[in-house]
Copies of this chain bind each other. A is one copy, B any other.
Amino acid sequence: MGSMEAFPGDVSPPGRTAATGEGIGIEELALAARNHGLPLETLRYEVTPPGLHYVLVHYDIPAADAGGWRLCVGGRVRTPLELSPRDLAGFPAVTHRVTMECAGNGRARLSPRPVSQPWLVEAVGTADWTGVPLRTVLAEAGVEPGAVEAVFTGADHGVERGVEQDYRRSLPLAVATGDDPEVLIAYAMNGRPLPPQHGYPLRLVVPGWYGMAHVKWLCGITLVDAPFTGFQQVVAYRYRLVSDGPDDPGEPVTRMAPRALMVPPGFPDFMSRVRIVRPGPVPLEGRAWSGHGPVVRVEVSADEGASWTVAEPAPPGAHRWAWQGWRCTWTATPGRHDLLVRATDAGGRTQPLEQHWNRGGFGNNLVQRVPVLCC
C-alpha cells in the first residue's frame, strides 16, 4: 500500500486538461460542491465571516481533538519541541489581517481547462488570524546551521496522482524566520477558535502567499538541510507553460498575483448571474490585493478595455497584507455591458486581458468580467 501501482488511473487519475468543449465533469463538480468560494456580494465585508471565506480541502477535514493535539518541531534544531495548542497560547499572541486566495483561483476560466478544483474567480477571503509568530517558535527550538527550509505537515491524508501523502509544504528558511511577512502559527480566526475547515486547532498563515502555503491542521515542522521535494512542492503548485512537457520542472507558485474584484452591482438573475441595473449613476465598489505589495491603481472599463476609469484604492493602512477597498461610479445606459476591473501593484504588476495559460491552472488573474443588463 502506498506505492503508485496501488492506485489505478480511475481511482487516482493523472493531471490532464479538458478537451475542447468538454463541460465540467462529475469529479470536478464533486470538488466544487465540497469546497466553496466567496459569494461576491460579500466582498462588502472587510473581514470575511468564516463561513463565507473560501475553503479548499485537498483530502478530508480531519477529526481533530485540541486536547490531544501536538505540534512537533524537529529536524535541524537544537531542541526538538512538542507543543500543545495550550502551550502555544502561552506565547505572546499576534493578530494579522490577511487576504488569502487559492492558487487555483481562475482555473475554470482557462482554455483548455486544467481538470482540478474548478474555481471561476471567487476563491478568496480575508480574516484576522491570531497566533504565535513562527520565528518565535523556531527561535525557541534553535535553528541549527545548515537548515535551508522548514517543512510543514498537515493531518490531512489522501492520495493525489497516485501518491499517498499527508499534505506537506515547505518554506525557505528566510521566509519562515522573516518578519516581513511575519508567518504565524494561528489558532484563532476572527477572534474565535479556528473552524474545522480552516485548520482547527492549528494552521500556518503566510501573509501574501497563495493558500497552498498556509498548511492547515498543522502537526509537524521539520527543519531540513536540502530543498524539500515532496509532491505538493515539486509536482503540484508549479507554473509549467508547456501542456505536455513532463520533464519541465516549472517555477514554484509563491505569492499572490494582483487582482481586483467587484461587488456585482444591481441584482442578479438566479441562473445566469447577469446583473440588472437601472439607467443612471451606479456606484461600484470592491476589493483589490497583491501578494507582492500594496495595490496602487484600480481601473474599471465598460468598453472591453479601450478606456479605463480610475477607481482609487484605499491606502493599505495598518493591514498591509489585507485587501484594499475601492470605489467609483459608472453611468449606466440601457443595453448590455460587460464591466471589467483590474488592479496594479506598487511593483507595476497588473492583470491581463488575455489568459496566461499554465498546465496546473495557477495564478490566473485575468481581469474579472461582470455582465450587466441595464433596463
What residues of chain A have their CB less than 8 Å away from a CB belonging to chain B? 1, 6-8, 10-13, 22-37, 39-42, 44-45, 49-53, 55, 57-61, 63, 108, 115-116, 118-120, 122, 157-161, 164, 195-198, 264, 267-274, 276, 278, 373, 375
Contact = CB atoms under 8 A, between A and B. Distances in A.
Contact of A269 (B25, B44, B160, B269): B160
Q: What number of copies of this chain does the assembly contain?
A: 2
Interface centre among A25, A36, A278 (most CB of B within 10 A): A36
A1 to B, nearest CB: 6
Given A1-B276, A52-B195, 14 more contacts: A1-B278, A7-B269, A7-B373, A13-B269, A24-B25, A27-B272, A29-B120, A30-B273, A31-B271, A36-B36, A41-B61, A51-B52, A159-B270, A161-B271
Contact of A267 (B115, B157, B373): B157
A170 to B, nearest CB: 19
A140 B50 CA distance: 37
Given A52-B197, A272-B12, A122 B33 contact: yes
A119 B52 contact: no
A49 B1 contact: no
B278 A11 contact: no
A119 B36 CA distance: 13
A268 B196 contact: no
A52 to B, nearest CB: 6
A110 B202 CA distance: 40
A185 B22 CA distance: 45
Contact of A6 (B58, B197, B375): B375
A267 to B, nearest CB: 5
Sort A-B residue pairs by CB-CB distance and give the 7 closest, nearest first.
A23-B23, A51-B51, A36-B36, A24-B24, A32-B32, A160-B270, A41-B60
A258 to B, nearest CB: 21
Contact of A268 (B13, B42, B159, B373): B159
A315 B122 CA distance: 41
B274 A11 contact: yes
A39 B197 contact: yes
Contacts of A53: 51
A35 B42 CA distance: 13
